[in-house]
Chains A and B, each alone.
Chain A
């Protein structure tokens, strides 16, 4: 693993007697898209806001490229680009003036760099129009441009897909992929859209009740998941059910209309097929699929999702 760009150490937030974020520790290496998953109220947004200093931490430390956000806020923030939920811009300014506004806060953002970023997000034709005439998708793009101006090492996105249509979500996803691959930026993203996270992220952290339940790599999850979800379509599901429960006593099978559903390893599929054929059943199809992130997520958080 490369050097960690972002480190959280025992980050805790308590308001009154309530602990919102409880001893959170994890690291994000360079070039990784790191997702934050959790039911509403799990502390995702609070954690992200603590990383960028909008909310103070009660305990613990956040390091960005080794610089403490608490002690050296200004220095730490030079490495961060942030896109918050529904990027709000100054509506009475033009898109370009908005970018100038954000560029001025950093040292060394040239006019050429602004033009380059505008090109990157594809706003070059409308950049001198007032933001109040922009559509939500355009504002989102301006938000991305604003975050990239100073070539940050970490991009932080808080619910970036809220309010975007599917095309907009896909566009954003493509940008992010491009950015991590071409510029080596790490991305930290929080969302409750599980399917999106599955497509976007390299690793996800699952938080519940302010506690870190699990951090897992999406790739590993895909590779080593021995358990497959099997859907079996046969002409006589009752008979098939009997055959399979008799031959595989450890298997839990459920009947779903004309289909049988079960969890099993890949190696067992040929054997299952053979048994069914030997029992003289007409097999229309057997489909194996991996458990989706959503299945796992619901498993882990006990289905308490409020999406």
Chain B
């Protein structure tokens, strides 16, 4: 009987011995390098010598706006007054917010998790479907490992690949930040205005990990979706096409349909949990964080169940 550990080693061998995988990793590194270069270039165009003056001017402008504009709604008011408070805090502590720290690079790389998701979707789509197109599925299944175990080992390996890409992008962005800005900003705090109206300092690394965490939710869902389609239709093309299609048009669809109340049951409406962060509003007013999480869990379970049923029950005839 096969041990799970060996089955995962097999799946990993099949992922990392393919040249394609390394092309993907290089591509990710290239994207992070490009992003860091652009950030640095953009920063260098700004004049930093009189940043204190700039912040003061900006605050005065906002104060004036708050007093003059009577029609402004309370959300915007709150937003602007928080901005003012943060700026005052920067001035008091003598921190230049426009000067990039290496954490800005790490936070920037969080927006590249979309790319990590796409690359992992491509790998996930191939996990089961490729065994069929290579014709190796027969030998794989005629062995002392149940289909459930084989599927699980494939899923775990896919998730391992996603984790590797996340680590690479975090580390690469951190390294790019360190090279371009040095380690000066390492201890720089993350500022936020709490419900008590006071500016709070928190750890930058926690903030970055949070940003990654939110992005990982959609990664998990889309990769699982691709895995399911791969198991169900045994076609990698279909798995990649549908997952990417949902990923790209999902947001637009929810926006168009946001007038209907049933839109809240769609996967795309729930996948972005940042909609519950202070300062933003969910797609439907009645949606809560708990609702979205239970919807995501439900979708996840359904995806897994469908893949499992189709992979373990269907005959391998061709």
Contacts and interface: CB of A to CB of B under 8 A. Distances in A.
A297 interface: no
B17 interface: yes
A90 B2 contact: no
A106 interface: yes
Interface stretch (B131-139, B159-167, B176-184): B131-139
Counting chain A residues whose Cβ lies within 8 A of the other chain, the interface size class is: 20 to 34
B145 A91 contact: no
Nearest to B149: A74
Contacts of B143: 77, 102, 105-106
Interface in B1-54: 1-3, 6-7, 9-10, 13-14, 17-19
- Residue of B1, B18, B144 most packed against chain A (CB within 10 A): B144
B316 A89 contact: no
Main SS class of interface, B: loop
A213 interface: no
Interface residues of B, number: 27
B136 A55 contact: no
A75 B142 CA distance: 12
Interface string A183-212: 000000000000000000000000000000
A229 interface: no
A53 B6 contact: no
Nearest to B135: A88
A92 interface: yes
Nearest to A75: B1
B141 interface: yes
Contacts of B13: 93, 97, 100-101
Interface centre among A93, A100, A105, by most chain B C-beta atoms within 10 angstroms, is A105
B144 A97 contact: no
A77 B6 contact: no
B6 A74 contact: no
A78 interface: yes
A88 B136 contact: yes
Contacts of A75: 1, 144
Contacts of B10: 101, 104-105
A74 B1 contact: yes
Contact of A105 (B17, B18, B136, B145): B145
A52 interface: yes
Contact of B2 (A53, A92, A106, A146): A106
Interface stretch (A1-9, A79-87, A262-270, A286-294): A79-87
Contact of A55 (B18, B19, B317): B317
A54 B6 contact: no
A156 B146 CA distance: 19
A68 to B, nearest CB: 14
A82 B315 CA distance: 17
A56 B315 CA distance: 6
Interface string B294-306: 0000000000000
Query: Which of B3, B9, B135 has most A Cβ within 10 Å?
Result: B135
Interface string A250-291: 000000000000000000000000000000000000000000
Interface in B187-243: none
Nearest to A104: B6
Contact of B136 (A73, A89, A106): A89
Contacts of B142: 52-54, 77, 80, 82, 84, 156
B98 to A, nearest CB: 48
A93 B317 contact: no
Nearest to A50: B315
A91 B134 contact: yes
A135 interface: no
Contacts of A87: 139
A78 B315 CA distance: 21
A106 to B, nearest CB: 6
A207 to B, nearest CB: 17
A48 B180 CA distance: 63
16 contacts: A49-B315, A54-B316, A74-B145, A75-B144, A88-B134, A88-B136, A90-B134, A93-B14, A97-B17, A101-B14, A102-B139, A102-B143, A105-B10, A105-B145, A106-B143, A107-B3
Given A74-B146, A75-B1, A87-B139, 5 more contacts: A54-B316, A73-B146, A77-B144, A84-B139, A86-B135
